[in-house]
Amino acid sequence: MKDTDVTKEWIFELFIRLISQQEVKDNVMTSRVEEEKDKLEETLGLRLNLNLSDIHMIACIGDHEPINVTTLSEKMNLTKGSITRISGKLLEQGLIRREQLNDNKKEVFFRLTLRGEQLHVIHDKLHKEVEQRFKDFLGKYTPEQLDFAKELLQDLLAWEY
């Protein structure tokens, strides 16, 4: 077997391990968000029934408000039906509000409520911590290695396996 074939096998094995490990890391992140959400619930004196998609919608609305269903759907890569379902839940819990702009009474936009803004701040803080740790991790690589890693990850995202 050629050295390149052995290397490709190793890369494939590492790729599979990375995918598997991502599930574990997602669970860790979810636990951290859950802990922060529990603190917020205690502060606000209410119980929030949210999953990661709900929290990501709060983050997206907070980052782009006012934002409509179509734009939310595009930015989150979810169907409009999913956006409608999740936004209904968030409206019910008082985390977002629906409004119309003065010059457009037909289209509905979403904004965060004070409670939603508090969750957005928590999510943003955790996201920035993870991003900084990731950037610190990448600090050991040369610019050429980073360019290759970027190209590889872009190709993996586009690859239909």
Q: What's the pTM?
A: 0.69
pLDDT tens for each residue of 43-73: 767 777 888 788 889 999 999 999 999 999 9
Q: Is residue 40 part of a domain?
A: no
Q: Is residue 134 part of a domain?
A: yes
Q: How far apart are CA 125 and CA 131, in angstroms?
A: 10
| Number of domains present in the structure of the chain | 1
Q: Is residue 84 part of a domain?
A: yes
Q: Is residue 22 part of a domain?
A: no
Q: Is residue 25 part of a domain?
A: no
CA 24 to chain centre: 16
Contact between residue 95 and residue 115 where contact means Cβ atoms under 8 Å apart: yes
Q: Is residue 88 part of a domain?
A: yes
Q: Which domain range does residue 82 map to?
A: 48-158
Can you tell me the mean pLDDT for 112-135?
A: 88
Q: Is residue 24 part of a domain?
A: no
Q: Is residue 77 part of a domain?
A: yes
pLDDT tens for each residue of 78-106: 999 999 999 999 999 999 999 987 776 77
CATH of residue 118:
1.10.10.10
Can you tell me the mean pLDDT for 129-138?
A: 91
